[in-house]
Structures are given as structure tokens and as C-alpha cells.
Structure 1
Amino acid sequence: MKTVLWAGLIGGLLVILGIYGYERYIVPLQGNEMTITKDNAKSLAVKVEFGAGILSINGGANDWMEANFDYKNKKNAPKVTSNVKKGTHFITVEQKPKVLSFNRSKLESTWNMQFNNDIPIDLDVDMGVSEAKLNLKGLQLNKLNIESGVSDSTIDMSGEWKNSFSANLTIGVGDMTILLPEQTGVKLKVTAGLGQADMKGFTSLGNGVYVNEMYENADVKIDMKVDVGIGNLTLKLVE
């Protein structure tokens, strides 16, 4: 009886290891390119809901959006919706895994997304469980909202901004580095739970509010609220 039981356990373990190896190393990524073409919209409102994997967002698209999605299971392909209402083009890209698996690698995807620099954009990003790099310089940001679940991320907001905008960032678990332009006025309202924030180059006004040297007299300003859970935040002022 014990021999049969052990044989069953060992056999089950071998099956599990075999499935893991298949999902993680053998299943090829499946490519899927998508473009949202230009129309007569005067602004963009973009919502990105990312599940797990590697996320990259950049400017420089010729159309409203140019993207390449790689995923290991067709059921985890992103759902993209696009519609125009009162002059605003609404774009939603969401990944809601439908496959239950003890192996998270099966759910991982790689998204490379580009948006157009020539139109104002409200950008809302939920980064899920990810390694993320958001290079936002060059975009005409109007509003920015970022939620980071379990993520190591870099958000580049450096460069020259023509208009002021507001940003809300929430860090769950992980590390986030934010690059900010030293020649633009920046004001931060930071709430830190168990995490830590490196605020080099900023002056405290009390009650979790910080500003850079340029803020008081700047014509263009970035007003940010940052909520740090148990992650770490690093802010860097760059040229």
C-alpha cells in the first residue's frame, strides 16, 4: 500500500515538474501587433490594466497607439477597446487572466506600447505584478495616474514640459524610481506607510509636502501625490 502511495506521489510530482517546464521554457511567445489610427479627436484618455510580466510605455507613435503584445496563452491576450466621445478618444487595454495556474509564468506577458506626442493625454496605468519602464517624456500629459502592485519600475518624467499637469502614484510592494526635470517646478505630497522615500534635491514644507528649487517661480509645474505602501521610492532630479 505504501509503495503504491509513494509511486503515486512521485508520479504526480513528475507530472507537475513536466508541466512547469513546458509552460516556462517550451511554450513560445505569440506576437500580436495593434495600432489605433489617428482621427479627429482632440485628446486621448488611456487606461492600461496590466496583469503580470514586463511593461514598457513610450511616446513617439505616429498613430494614437502602436503596440506589440507577447503572451504565452491566447486566453490572456489583452482586450483593447477604442471609442470617441465629445472629442476625446478613449483607449482601454486590459489583461484579465482567465487561466488558473500555480505557475505564474504562464500568465506573464510582455507589452511594448507607444503613444502619440502631439495630443493631450490622460494616462491611467495599473502595473500589476511587473517589471515596468515608463518613458513618458515627450508626451503631452494632462493627468497621470499610476498604481503599482508588486513591481520594480522606473518612470521617466524628465525633459521639457510645455504645460502643467497633475499626477497620482501608488506604490504597493517593490521599488519605484522617478526621474523628474530639475528645470520644471515640482511639488510632492508623499504619504509613506512601511516604505521609504529618498527625497534628495527637495525641500520639506512640512506635513509630507516637498518642493524643488524651481517650484515657486516656475510657469510650468508638476503636482504629484505619492502613496508608498511597503515599497521604496527614489526621486531623482535630472537635466
Structure 2
Amino acid sequence: MKRLLAVPVLAALAGCGFHHVPVGEVRTETKSVEKDDAEMVRAEIKLGAGELRVGGGATKLMEANFRYNVDAWKPEVRYEKNGFRGRLTVEQPKVGSTGGNAENNWELKFSKDVPLDLDANIGAGEADLDLGPLTLRSAEVSIGAGKVDVRFSETPRKSFDLNVRGGVGEATIRFPKDVAVIARAKGGIGGISVRGMRKEGDEYRNEALGNSKVTITVDVKGGVGQINLIAE
């Protein structure tokens, strides 16, 4: 994921009232957050423009790699704990738009040992979210313009709700076939493509429903241009 940002993505940001910021040399950074005794953590990811990859495999709470060439986009990482809950924020500063040769790539890995409420907000760009290795309580994905691909390289450990909120673009969710899925899609959705699921009323369900201890309940709302649900 070391591609330059597409011109349409940057154009989307240009209309957000941001001032112009210069493009410089490519910088790479690694950051991590240690585990503590928090019983659950809310992880908030706020990427204004760029490419995001989320997955598991971290020995710490989070291990992150950043690659960017706009100094003003230097990611901010914050963690705080209140009682038995932790809150982790990874955020791109809202400081400006730039030209067509900008680069902003984030790779975030999380520990499977800590239950997460994941909230990923991408203003414009692309996201590849492998949720299988994570221990999720809930997940919400919001994208303004671009493409998001949600997949499961491993079978989820527990049931959880997945909410997708969109402006324009495409969202693809690839479910493991041995996990029960109930999906609902409402709002200004341009098109829905479904494979491996049947429609029952306002819902799409797969064959594993009733036979799996784990259920993913999906709710898609907003002006998503195209939603693809794949359970096979």
C-alpha cells in the first residue's frame, strides 16, 4: 500500500474548506501502544485522506506503521484509560489539501487479547480491514469517498455488530461461510450485489444462520454507491 493518492480523492478533500499544504519527502514512522489492565478498548481511527490497512498480529495493544509525504499530516496517536475502559485514537490532523502526488498510508495491527470497539472513519481513500484476527465487540466503518474492503482471514471469536456508513464509493464485505450473517441495507444505496446469501424481507441471511455460535449483524446506511455482500 505505497501508492500515491488518486486525483479524485484529493479533489474530494479540496472541497472541505482545507487550505493547501506542501508535499515533501516521504517519511516513515512506527508507533505502538502497550497493553494495560483495561478490559476493553475503543479504537478510533480518523484518516482524512489516504490508504488504511487494519489487521491483527500485534504483541502490544497496537502496532502502527505510517508512510506519508505531507508533514502536516503527521499522525497523532493518543491513549487514555478510565476505569476498566481504554480509548485509543489514531488521527490525521485536519490541516489542508494538497496536490496529486501526495502519499498517506497507514498500517495498524491490533492484539487479539483485548476486546475492541473499532470505529474507522475515512474521509477519502481506500481501506482494507481484516477483522477476523481481532476480538471485536463492535465495529463501525464510515467512508466519505472511495473504497472499503472488509474481510475475515480468520473466523471471528464472538458475535458482533458491524455498521457501515458511507457517502459515495464502494463497500465490499466478505464473510467467512461458517459464520452466521444477518445484513440490512438502507438509504441512498446505488446498488447491492449479494453472493451466498438469501433475501428474507428486508434482510439478507446466509446458510450458517442457526448453525453457528457466532453471528455478524451488518447494518449499511447512507449514500454508498455500491455495496457488495459476499458469504462463500
Output the TM-score relative to the length of structure 1: 0.82
Shift of 1:104: 5.4
Read off the aligned partner of 1:236 and give its amino acid letter.
I
Correspondence for 1:56: 53
Instruction: Please give the alpha-carbon distance, in whole angstroms, between the structure 1 residues aligned to 2:224 and 2:149.
Output: 17
Correspondence for 1:191: 186
Correspondence for 1:17: none
Q: Is 1:158–1:180's contact at 8 Å kept on the other side of the alignment? A: no
Shift of 1:146: 0.4
Correspondence for 1:173: 168
Read off the aligned partner of 2:111 and give its amino acid letter.
N
Between 1:140-149 and 1:213-222, the stretch displaced more is 213-222
Read off the aligned partner of 1:159 and give its amino acid letter.
E
Q: Is 1:49–1:93's contact at 8 Å kept on the other side of the alignment? A: yes
Shift of 1:230: 4.3
Q: Which runs of 5+ in 2 are unaligned?
A: 1-21
Shift of 1:214: 1.6
Shift of 1:66: 0.4
Correspondence for 2:90: 93
Q: Is 2:189–2:227's contact at 8 Å kept on the other side of the alignment? A: no
**Rg larger in structure:** 1
Q: Which runs of 5+ in 1 are unaligned?
A: 1-21
Query: What is the CA deviation profile of residues 172-224 of structure 1, one whole-angstrom value per residue up to 9, with x for unaligned ones?
Result: 21122111011111001111424111122222121x21111121343221111
Q: Does 1:41 align with 2:35?
A: no
Query: What is the CA deviation profile of residues 57-113 of structure 1, one whole-angstrom value per residue up to 9, with x for unaligned ones?
Result: 111101000001122222211121101112122101111231354x2544x411111
Task: Note closer, same or farther for the CA distance 1:213–1:158 as it changes in structure 2 (3 Å cut).
Answer: farther
User: Aligned-pair RMSD on alpha carbons?
Assistant: 1.9
Query: What is the CA deviation profile of residues 139-174 of structure 1, one whole-angstrom value per residue up to 9, with x for unaligned ones?
Result: 111100000111122111353222111111113211
Shift of 1:53: 1.3
Give me the identity figure in percent: 30
Task: Note closer, same or farther for the CA distance 1:104–1:217 as it changes in structure 2 (3 Å cut).
Answer: same
Instruction: Please give the alpha-carbon distance, in whole angstroms, between the structure 1 residues aligned to 2:224 and 2:87.
Output: 33
Instruction: Output aligned runs, 1:96-115, within 5 Å.
Output: 96-101=93-98, 103=99, 105-106=101-102, 108-115=103-110
Correspondence for 2:71: 74
Task: Note closer, same or farther for the CA distance 1:100–1:194 as it changes in structure 2 (3 Å cut).
Answer: closer
Instruction: Please give the alpha-carbon distance, in whole angstroms, between the structure 2 residues aligned to 1:219 and 1:73.
Output: 46
Output the TM-score relative to the length of structure 2: 0.84
Task: Note closer, same or farther for the CA distance 1:203–1:70 as it changes in structure 2 (3 Å cut).
Answer: same
Correspondence for 1:127: 122
Correspondence for 1:235: 229
Task: Note closer, same or farther for the CA distance 1:227–1:32 as it changes in structure 2 (3 Å cut).
Answer: same
Instruction: Please give the alpha-carbon distance, in whole angstroms, between the structure 2 residues aligned to 1:66 and 1:75.
Output: 22
What's the secondary structure of 2:207's corresponding residue? coil
Between Structure 1 and Structure 2, which shows a larger proportion of helix residues? 1
Instruction: Please give the alpha-carbon distance, in whole angstroms, between the structure 2 residues aligned to 1:62 and 1:154.
Output: 25
Read off the aligned partner of 1:126 and give its amino acid letter.
N
Shift of 1:228: 4.9
Instruction: Please give the alpha-carbon distance, in whole angstroms, between the structure 2 residues aligned to 1:215 and 1:51.
Output: 37
Task: Note closer, same or farther for the CA distance 1:145–1:45 as it changes in structure 2 (3 Å cut).
Answer: same
Paired residues, number? 212
